[in-house]
C-alpha cells in the first residue's frame, strides 16, 4: 500500500454529520451499542450493513434501518478475510463485540483467558487487517472500535477484560498511525456503564447497579443510543481531523475521584 492521504474536501457546516452515499458496516449490529449505531448511521444517510453472528438479530436491525443483514462470526478468521470482497467498498467500519468472564486473575482457566483475548483483541486485529487494506487502497475510510473505560480504570475480577480493552486502544492507535497517511482514520470509543446485553449481570444486582450509577457525574447508566452520536461523529466529516483518538462517553466516571463533596 502506497500513497498519500487524500485532501479532505470542504463540507458545508450543515452537512458535517451527513453520511449520504457512504457504506457502513456495523459488526455486532444485532443488539446494544451496535444496533443503536446502525440506526444512527442510517438516520444520517449511510447505507448500513448490519453484521452479527446472530442472523435473526441482524435482520431485525436491518429491517429497522433499511439496511442489509450479514452473517459474520468474527472468531471465524476465514469469514473475516472474505467479508470485504463480499461486501464491496466500505467507507465506515464499526465493531462492538466483546466478552468478559468475571474472575480474579489467579482463578482464571487457560481457556477462559484465551476466549476473552480471541474475541476482544485478536478478532479486532483481524477486522482492521481485513477492512483496513482495501480502505487504504481507495484512500479513504473510517474505522471505529469500541473499547471501554476499563482500559484505564480497572476493577477486581475484570483484569483480562481490562487488559484486552487497553490493548485494543494501542492496536487502533497503531492502525491510525499506519493507515493515516493513506487516508484512513481510526478511532476508539470508550463507553462507561451502558444498559446492554453485556451488562445484564450488573443490571440484575440492585446494589451493584446503584453503585455504578452513583460513580458517574450524571448519576445514571447510559442507554446504547447515547453512544451512537459519538459513532456518527467519528464516522463523519465532522471528525475529518480526528484520528488515533479515544472518545470517552462515560457520564464523567473517569473524571471524578470519589464521591466526597467538600463543605462550602
127/96 Cα distance (integer angstroms) = 11
To the query of whether residue 70 is one of the catalytic residues in this protein, the response is no
Using the CB atoms, write b or e for 138-154: b if 16+ within 10 Å: bebbbbbbbbbbbbeee
150-152-157-161 Cα dihedral, nearest 10 degrees: 50
Collapsing DSSP to helix, strand or coil, 145 comes out as strand
194/171 Cα distance (integer angstroms) = 23
Catalytic residue among 70, 161, 212, 241: 161
Distant-in-sequence, close-in-space partners of 82: CB < 8 Å, separation ≥ 6: none
Query: What amino acid positions are annotated as catalytic residues?
Result: 161
Amino acid at each position: 500500500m502506497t500513497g498519500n492521504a487524500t485532501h479532505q474536501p470542504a463540507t458545508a457546516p450543515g452537512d458535517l454529520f451527513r453520511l449520504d452515499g457512504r457504506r457502513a458496516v456495523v459488526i455486532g449490529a444485532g443488539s446494544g451499542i451496535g444496533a443503536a449505531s446502525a440506526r444512527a448511521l442510517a438516520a444520517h444517510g449511510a447505507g448500513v450493513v448490519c453484521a452479527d453472528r446472530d442472523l435473526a438479530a441482524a435482520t431485525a436491525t436491518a429491517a429497522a434501518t433499511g439496511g442489509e443483514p450479514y452473517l459474520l462470526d468474527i472468531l471465524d478468521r476465514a469469514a473475516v478475510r472474505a467479508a470485504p470482497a463480499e461486501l464491496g467498498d466500505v467507507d465506515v467500519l464499526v465493531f462492538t463485540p466483546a466478552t468478559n468472564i468475571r474472575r480474579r486473575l489467579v482463578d482464571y482457566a487457560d481457556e477462559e483467558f484465551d476466549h476473552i483475548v480471541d474475541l476482544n483483541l485478536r478478532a479486532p486485529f483481524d477486522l482492521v487487517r481485513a477492512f483496513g487494506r482495501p480502505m487504504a487502497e481507495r484512500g479513504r475510510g473510517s474505522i471505529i472500535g469500541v473499547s471501554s473505560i476499563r482500559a484505564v480504570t480497572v476493577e477486581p475480577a475484570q483484569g483480562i477484560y481490562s487488559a484486552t480493552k487497553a490493548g485494543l486502544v494501542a492496536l487502533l492507535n497503531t492502525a491510525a498511525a499506519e493507515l493515516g497517511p493513506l487516508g484512513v482514520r481510526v478511532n476508539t470509543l470508550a463507553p462507561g456503564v451502558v444498559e446492554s446485553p453485556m451488562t445484564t449481570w450488573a443490571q440484575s444486582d440492585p446494589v451493584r447497579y446503584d453503585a455504578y450509577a452513583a460513580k458517574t457525574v450524571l448519576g445514571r447508566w447510559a442507554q446504547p443510543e447515547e453512544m451512537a452520536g459519538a459513532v456518527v461523529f467519528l464516522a463523519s466529516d465532522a471528525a475529518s481531523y480526528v484520528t488515533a483518538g479515544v472518545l470517552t462517553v462515560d457520564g464523567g466516571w473517569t473524571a471524578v475521584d470519589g464521591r466526597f463533596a467538600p463543605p462550602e
